[in-house]
Amino acid sequence: MRIGVFVCQCGTNIASTVDTERVAQEVKKLPDVVYTTTYMYTCSEPGQQEIQRAIEEHNLQGVVVAACSPRMHEPTFRRAVEKAGLNRYMFEMANIREHVSWVSNDREANTKKAIELVRMAVAKLRFNQPLFPSRVAINKRVMVIGGGVAGIQAALDCADAGLDVVLVERRTSIGGKMAQLDKTFPTIDCSSCILGPKMVDVAQKENITLHAYSEIESVSGYVGNFAVRVRKKATYVDWKACTGCGVCMEKCPSRKVPDEFNEGLSFTRAINIPFPQAIPKKATINRSYCIYFTKGKCGICAKVCPAKAIRYDMTDEVVTEEVGAIIVATGYDLFDPSAYGEYGAGQYRDVITGIQYERILSASGPFGGHIKRPSDGREPKDVVFIACVGSRDASVGRPYCSGVCCMYIAKQAILTKDHIPNSRSYVFYMDIRSPAKNYDEFVRRAQEEYGVQYIRGRVGKIYPRGDRLVVQGMDTLLGIQVEVEADLVVLATGIEASRGARELAEKLHISYDQYGFFMENHPKLRPVETNTAGIYLAGVCQGPKDIPASVAQGSAAAAKVLALFARDTIETSPQVASVTERACIACGKCIEVCPYGAIRWKELKGGVRKAEVITTVCQGCGLCNATCPPKAIQLQHATDNQILAEIEELCA
């Protein structure tokens, strides 16, 4: 092979601590290396032209660039060599910047290490093979999982662009957490007034198929061609017939069913429509409270339903949806405050959570929009808000900031004053986080116009005194202990990953962080892509954020899907696993370990089985290769021979 080596100075980034000239001279002595040079900025246009000129002039068959991390510029150089007529995989990069010049000032040692890295790259290049991508057709339907505001936005944007959309929501109505909110910061506009129309749009768009009360059973396939099995849970009501009139709900004798939508502050019926604006507006029977299911008799709803929609014998149904891309927008759940025993959540009825307070504030909430204490229905005068309950606290495993609590506390304090003008609000906080547009002004308004008292410090204890609560804490600015008597205490419970997020991630083969939030491909440059091609993220499922950011991500994810679907076929990377059939002993270990389900059995004549890689699904992680005992399965462009050649060179 005729190999050319280009040692980049990267201005002074590399040249200041690596003797690039010497690197070029030394590697010139290697067998097969016929041309070496150094260059100021190899990635620049003239730098790339220099590579192309050398390829032509010296008949190079392979190129090594010793420069920066391949993450950024490998594609650049691959394109450059391809333009000069080489296959783009006849190129190797040695990282002598992040791995060498930036980590040490020892010029001698650096130069030696740089030479070693280039020698390894050359050793590998000798085993490189031209590789060619393949193309597959795209099924231009998209699935959105989770019907909160992020998922709704994504679904609507895709539908507006003319795509067929399948929206899967776990609960009986879409809307997510935003549907439960009263008003929204920083503009204090009514949550359901701005979300409601979007929810109605979802119901009315003909190209959106909504599977409510449904969950993902399994996912197979790959970008452009996923097959998703969706379990439609039994509602015991034929939704095609149900008109949402609500007569059943009125007549249902099982009246002590905790109302989830109202966060347990009121009761609903065993058959219910979760809230008036629900989409779809259909009734569902809650089996654990239904007298028919628990005691075997009743059947009142079936008698009263004018549409004859009740079906006690209904069972779950599994449907398969074929889509080309998936947007995951499964949102979040809230921290259980009982972890802080000293706050008495669950023990004192007037210690409530922020989301419960949203319901109390809401006109459609448990108290018709009048602020009352859950214990005795009395209107509170002194309300204490406690920030960071299950946020920024490593001792409860939640070291991260939930991002929205500072803001919704300010909102709720303002609303409290609006509802009860002679009330007083106090906020115990650690720091105030209000960085977005108009946010800090909003918090200041709470403090200055609404007279909300902010006390910087943590609360140590809450205990009852008469029918009120004493909140004891530290004011760290004044350095004194403070005690506030309150009628109502609101705990700003932190955001945590949605229940079942990890299990869903495993079905989708996407990664998640230690807290269960789904991982984006790159925190800055690819924020709504996952590591699995064709699967995108939107909203809080990726990490805590507010409504504007969730909506922006919903639209961003939709844009990514549209970009993907703008072509009819997609190119797949050839850097995937491939089986040498004669060496495969059919042990099946690769099939077991592949996290992407990318390997299956192939039957040859006479019933002989061999492993087969579905190249479009394979992500090139290499687990199969590491596991395969006879090394029959090899990762293209990172074969055992290539890696062994590098090690051999390093240890030589």
Partner 1 sequence: MWSEITKKLQETVQNIMPQVEAVIGWERGFNEIRIKPVVIKKEGDISKLVWNPFCVQNLSGYLVKSPAVIPREGRRVAICVKGCDSRSVTALIQEGFLKRDQIFIIGIPCSGTVDWRKVMKRLERSSVIHRAEIKDGRLMVEHAEGVEEIPLREILLRRCLRCVYPNPTVSDVVIGETVSPHIEKEDLYKDVEAFERKSLDERRKFWAETLSRCIRCYACRNACPLCICQDWCIAERRDPKWVTQKPTLKDILLFHGIHALHLAGRCTECGECERVCPMEIPVMFIKEKLNETTLRLFSYEAGIDSNLVPPLLTFNPHETGI
Ligand X SMILES: Cc1cc2nc3c(=O)[nH]c(=O)nc-3n(C[C@H](O)[C@H](O)[C@H](O)COP(=O)(O)OP(=O)(O)OC[C@H]3O[C@@H](n4cnc5c(N)ncnc54)[C@H](O)[C@@H]3O)c2cc1C
Q: Which is nearer to partner 1, 477 or 585 (CB)?
A: 585
Residue 212 binding ligand X, by CB under 6 A? no
Q: Is 545 in the site for ligand X (CB under 6 A)?
A: yes
Shorter beta-carbon distance to ligand SF4: residue 363 or 626: 626
Q: Which x/- pattern over 630-649 shows residues binding partner 1 (rule: CB under 8 A)?
A: xxx-x----xxx--x-----
Whichever of 392 and 589 has its CB closer to partner 1, that residue is 589
Q: By C-alpha distance, which of 7, 14, 13 is closest to 119?
A: 7
CB of 43 to partner 1, least distance (A): 34
Residues found in the chain: 652
Report the residue from 188, 585, 608, 644 that binds ligand SF4 according to the rule CB under 6 A.
585
Site string for ligand SF4, 603-622 (x = CB under 6 A): --------x-x----xxxxx
Does 358 participate in binding ligand X (rule CB under 6 A)? yes
DSSP 579-632: E-GGG-----HHHHH-TT--EEEEE-GGG-EEEEE-TTT-----HHHHH-TT--
* Residues sharing a CB contact under 8 Å with residue 318, sequence separation 6 or more, in sequence order: 217, 229, 230, 231, 232
The verdict on 507 binding ligand X (CB under 6 A) reads no
The answer to whether 146 contacts ligand X (rule: CB under 6 A) is yes
Least distance CB 353 / ligand X (angstroms): 7
CB 142, CB 561: distance < 8 Å: yes
Name the binder of 640 from ligand SF4, ligand X, partner 1, none, CB < 5-8 A by kind: partner 1
**DSSP conformational letter for 342:** G
Select from 250, 376, 568, 592 the one that contacts partner 1 (CB under 8 A): 592
For 8, other C-beta atoms within 10 Å of its C-beta total: 27
Alpha helix (H) residue ranges in 462-514: 501-508
3-state class of 241 per DSSP?
coil
**Position among 327, 623, 633, 635 found at the interface with partner 1 (CB under 8 A):** 623
Distance CA 178, CA 169 (A): 14
With CA atoms as reference, report the closest residue to 518 among 326, 391, 325, 328.
328
- The window from 20-28, 29-37, 434-442, 574-582 that contacts ligand SF4 (CB under 6 A) reads 574-582
Alpha carbon distances (Å) from 72 to 48, 66, 167, 420, 577: 15, 13, 36, 57, 24
Residue 176 interacts, among partner 1, ligand SF4, ligand X, none and using kind-specific CB cut-offs from 5 to 8 Å, with: ligand X
In the complex with partner 1, which residue's Cβ is closer, 477 or 647? Answer: 647
Q: Which does 624 bind (CB under 5 to 8 A by kind): partner 1, ligand SF4, ligand X, none?
A: ligand SF4
Q: Which conformational region is residue 87 in: left (phi greater than 0), alpha (psi within -120 to 50 degrees), or beta?
A: beta
For residues 300 and 251, the answer to whether their CB atoms sit within 8 Å is yes
Residues 449-508 that bind partner 1 (CB under 8 A): 502, 506
Which residue's entry shows tokens 């450059």? 80
Q: Which does 527 bind (CB under 5 to 8 A by kind): ligand SF4, ligand X, partner 1, none?
A: none
Q: Hey, which residues does 610 pair with through a beta bridge?
A: 602
- Please answer whether residues 158 and 144 qualify as being in contact, where contact means their C-beta atoms are separated by less than 8 angstroms: yes
Residue ranges with strand state E in 286-392? 317-323, 325-328, 332-334, 351-353, 382-389
The rounded distance, in Å, linking the Cα atoms of 637 and 74 is 14
User: Are 266 and 357 in contact, with CB atoms under 8 Å apart?
Assistant: no
Residues near 395 by beta carbon (within 8 Å), at least 6 away in sequence: none
- Among residues 181, 248, 252, 325, the one that binds ligand X under rule CB under 6 A: 181
State the number of binding residues for ligand SF4 (CB under 6 A).
29
Q: Is 483 helix (H, G, I), strand (E, B) or coil?
A: strand
- Residue 622 contact, options partner 1, ligand X, ligand SF4, none, Cβ 5-8 Å cut-off depending on partner type: ligand SF4
Q: CB 497 → partner 1: shortest distance, Å? A: 14
Of 163, 325, 594, 598, the one binding partner 1 (CB under 8 A) is 594
> Which range binds partner 1 by CB under 8 A, 235-243, 325-333, 416-424, 628-636?
628-636
3 part of the interface to ligand X, by CB under 6 A = no
> Is there binding between residue 558 and ligand SF4 (CB under 6 A)?
no
Q: Among 78, 141, 269, 411, which residue sits at the site for ligand X (rule: CB under 6 A)?
A: 411
CB contact at 8 A, 161 and 154: no
Please report, as ranges, the residues that interact with ligand SF4 according to CB under 6 A: 576-577, 579, 584-590, 594, 596, 598-599, 611, 613, 618-624, 627-628, 630, 632-633, 635
| Footprint on this chain of ligand X (rule: CB under 6 A) | 145-151, 168-171, 176-178, 181, 184-185, 215-216, 329-332, 334, 354-355, 358, 404, 408, 411, 498, 500, 504, 539-540, 545-548, 550
**Interface residues with partner 1 (CB under 8 A)?**
502, 506, 512, 583, 585, 587-589, 592-595, 623, 627, 629-632, 634, 639-641, 644
